[in-house]
Structure 1
């Protein structure tokens, strides 16, 4: 799929010289292609450095500025080639400082959770529900997600995963879930919540086993 979009983007960049006409299948694809060709370099060039064999992720939110000044953009990682998307939604009561404090421990726990169900996390596509940390957090999480929702929608449409595992509250995703009913959706508590409340791990484990069964 990445190659297909690369060919289309090349045709759009070349303009009349390509001798080809590109017809978008809808507004979402038109916006996606516009962002695609406006980003410098190739897919994932603005994202994190990838290890050998790891496919770079698209940075769909790289050109978004709806929330104003931001401290940090949460770039997606992983290829999604195994048909698994992980969406991170930290507990709303956890501050940015606390998230940074737990980042390493939470990442290690997430890797262990995926390894426990025999899923190669490097082949998953990992993205965030809310795509950036604002420099001045005056906007509510709900207001921020309203801006991020179209980006997340395009990610799901582009990757067409078999399974989506939401780590955190899945309720904000109702519209996206309804539009992608063929995808199997699962929700477990975010790793930070599991670190602070170990009693929640049993429920998360049971849900992860169901997700594993759906992957096949």
Structure 2
């Protein structure tokens, strides 16, 4: 990720006294990097040490996850300029169901750092729940500067490819500068039906916009 504000969280997450107490009484980690710590050691941590531990482990989770980034708007000029080789690439529109194993999430654009659910963190790492939803929602956050992207993410808990085989392609759009040979290669790789119609985008003015 190229943005230091990605998956924003406060440098020192604020928790209530009840949340700190729940952590100290219930945290019994079953996974790294916690294995090997003495029983009951977590109860002696100061508030600031709990904050640092939460942030550190959250950073480790982020480094181990991967996501496929998608956008709602296939006609955004900035998106074509930034992510399609200066309008020389293509957009592939996919029909997704509302939920893909619970891991398809709309990115939220926040002015302030995201809050961690300390109770869920405690229960998850203590083996009391395997629900990843609060964690995925917590990570699906960016600064407002990126709001033009209208981003959705498909999260995976390990870096790998996301296979689109189960989700039908509904449209293919080529940029206003896409070379003919690139179009041929893309269409061949997608192996679409002979009657599938793709679109070459056009530039319109007053106001400036892309049109199918």
Q: Structure 2 length as normaliser, TM-score?
A: 0.26
> Which of structures 1 and 2 has the larger relative contact order (alpha carbons within 8 angstroms, sep 6+)?
2
Normalized per residue, which structure has more helix? 1
The structure whose Rg is larger is: 2
Normalized per residue, which structure has more strand? 2
Q: Structure 1 length as normaliser, TM-score?
A: 0.26
